[in-house]
Chain A
């Protein structure tokens, strides 16, 4: 069996993965670094991010305010030490990207321009028109090309982490083009595979977002954290689920119900003003806006379409000039995919699964408890996003924690010895498993698409915007049944070369594990917080649940949920206030304790 060997191995080549690769290469140019990605890196889903990346840069802003917005936005489930590190390093990282050529939008005098964003009290979102993720990813990808120590494995699909004696030794991967299954050993592995939106039927996430890294870590014995917190973005196009960026509201867009009424004023989000007001109305946090949609829908004040109820996003009053300069991609997407022009028409939108707050449990350097395993970006849960992520924090998170994980892994790898033959034996076993279970399988009668559809339906029904015990328990049972039926899967395609059906089947296996962890965590958290709303437990319960859920995989394949207290440094849990009552200045931030007394 072929094998290749590196010091640091990245699984995933999106924003976090490429940033980590560069960080590792810069820490120690002698290290050999591998980026293993199931798609060419510039196809990674970072490319779809639109609105921007948050980082304090203007004089009227402060790190404390960014931290407070993030922590209150996350309903106090964020680890505050991580948030403080994050807000401090985010501007540096964004600046570094500027130095690598990212075409950030500018002020007339040539300085970086920033825009408002949901749940943020100050303007601090750096943007490159409304294709921020696209420009960031291509800048990072093109920059990695100049680093010789970075070897790319494009279109290689990782099926398993090699673990020996509590230490990660690399991965087993399929080279899609040839079908070759082989070990790629490494002293440190960083998972940067992004989220798992495809577990749900209606999502902004690309087809490649299957929670691969989460399941790889979970199966290798690492824990997943806060998996019940799934973010619904309030404005997706019906049918396609294409995202209409929050920047559309930050530039002044209105959300209207079927009567043309700005309904958010009825949900404790402030009074409507003609121009956008920070932390108010359309610039409230995503969880509250998506929940308001469900309420409005129950009152019968939404519009019915063949693809579910919608409300309207109104950009018409912004005028063609602003839309073309600040939101060109929104206009392009509406024209191309919805056949309407936002300059003249209302955009139908509905909440759509967008982001996973939870993920592989890591510390502030991206390290997991499993030696040699790191994670960064959406796949990880550090946690800076708590129970609800603020828009534009995730791109910055990819950079800050990608860089941190890259550095930490490089330092760790330099101290380790290379993997031994045991890794090879494991890789051989994995090859035999894949062949027996899929390529050479006799019999079987389940199709990948059938199980995938049923999984998506089951999880939407049980772990949607509002949840309760009975439906969660039903969802858990259904997922258990689907896990059984998954064993009976049969592929039409038995060939080696570019077998995307095999890839789809393996991704489905990953998604089933991730779906189960979401439902189990949601079932166990008997409170409502941020994006996790239990109709049977509508209040937040700080006494029992100011804690992260940790879900472990038991040897029999079932799961076990534990809790880990949230790290509170300077902001004691308070009420989340949006609208007019939102704090105006740093002095008004409730219970902010001076930094020196952090503990």
Chain B
């Protein structure tokens, strides 16, 4: 194993640069080091102006997503040693398809707008008083949505999705999976409220099922699955609307969606 590796990092500062340019930093490779440790080494010892986000370094806060050797990765969960064979060079870039604020820091406000747009909170028609205790939910019902509740908002799936790159208004994998997290929750009654954003050309129908979002997800959320399942349901609902008698009230649809 090599004891040194060269990181190639695109540097961009709006105050000095028109566009990013690559800089190289030689860093030691220790067995326990992840890519983030190498970045911290550079920031502490070589160049304090290197700019990136990080916090928990245990793969749960979702801050440190980057393109490592062309793949979206959490830099805290990607060992440096796995790249020491690559001719001793490793490219670390900001997550693809996002605007870049500086160096490795991407701009996230658009993602947060999309996250809010899908109404990711528990929607109830009626709210019984707290004294009536918890909503009952069996482990099987929990299992229905648990996978989709594991998203850490790291945005790796957006960096993996070519549709996000080509069509910036596409709601995107994480937000749709989060909507499905609530739609599938036995306590939620808001599937009808979320339909307008989801069953839309920029919602699920924007997805062309490349499947990369699921492959890169560090938490095995499977957004691609969430989207295709919703497509199937939306298509069936559409067919059903022809079969069932006219004049059905909107609330019936909602209730049914909630019970699905």
Do A and B assemble together? yes
Judged by a CB distance under 8 angstroms, whether A92 is at the interface is yes
CB distance A95 to B134 under 8 Å? yes
What does DSSP make chain B's interface, helix, strand, loop or mixed? Answer: loop
Given A42-B62, A101-B182, A103-B149, do A110 and B136 touch, yes or no (CB 8 Å)?
Answer: yes
Chain B residue nearest to A505 (CB atoms) is B48
Binds B, one of A141-149, A212-220, A368-376, A557-565: A141-149
CB distance A142 to B55 under 8 Å? no
Chain A residue nearest to B46 (CB atoms) is A492
Closest CB-CB distance, A155 to chain B, in whole Å? Answer: 9
Size category of the A interface is 35 or more
Judged by a CB distance under 8 angstroms, whether B121 is at the interface is yes
Closest CB-CB distance, A457 to chain B, in whole Å? Answer: 15
Closest CB-CB distance, A146 to chain B, in whole Å? Answer: 5
CB distance B136 to A493 under 8 Å? no
CB distance A101 to B188 under 8 Å? yes
How far is it, in angstroms, between the C-alpha of A333 and the C-alpha of B121 when the chains are bound?
29
Judged by a CB distance under 8 angstroms, whether A36 is at the interface is no
CB distance A39 to B55 under 8 Å? yes
CB distance A242 to B55 under 8 Å? no
Contact of B121 among A98, A106, A146, A447 (CB under 8 A): A146
Size category of the B interface is 35 or more
How far is it, in angstroms, between the C-alpha of A504 and the C-alpha of B188 when the chains are bound?
42
Given the complex, which residues of A lie within 8 Å of B32, measured CB to CB? 239-240
Given the complex, which residues of A lie within 8 Å of B187, measured CB to CB? 101
Given A134-B152, A145-B121, do A336 and B59 touch, yes or no (CB 8 Å)?
Answer: yes
CB distance B138 to A106 under 8 Å? yes
Binds B, one of A224-232, A418-426, A495-503, A538-546: A495-503
Within 8 A of B (CB), among A52-111: 92, 95-96, 98-101, 103-106, 108-111
CB distance A206 to B136 under 8 Å? no
CB distance A333 to B58 under 8 Å? yes
Closest CB-CB distance, A244 to chain B, in whole Å? Answer: 11
Contact of B60 among A134, A146, A208, A496 (CB under 8 A): A134
CB distance B13 to A495 under 8 Å? yes
Given the complex, which residues of B lie within 8 Å of A498, measured CB to CB? 51, 101-102, 105
**B-binding residues in A (CB < 8 A):** 39-40, 42-45, 47-48, 92, 95-96, 98-101, 103-106, 108-112, 131, 134-135, 138, 142-143, 145-146, 154, 177, 206-208, 239-240, 242-243, 329, 332-333, 336-337, 447-449, 491-493, 495-501, 504
Q: Which 9 residue pairs across A and B have the least CB separation, nearest first? A: A110-B136, A449-B44, A493-B49, A492-B48, A101-B122, A501-B48, A206-B56, A206-B55, A142-B120
- New A-B pairs, 4, CB < 8 Å, besides A492-B49, A493-B51, A496-B15: A98-B134, A493-B48, A500-B52, A504-B48
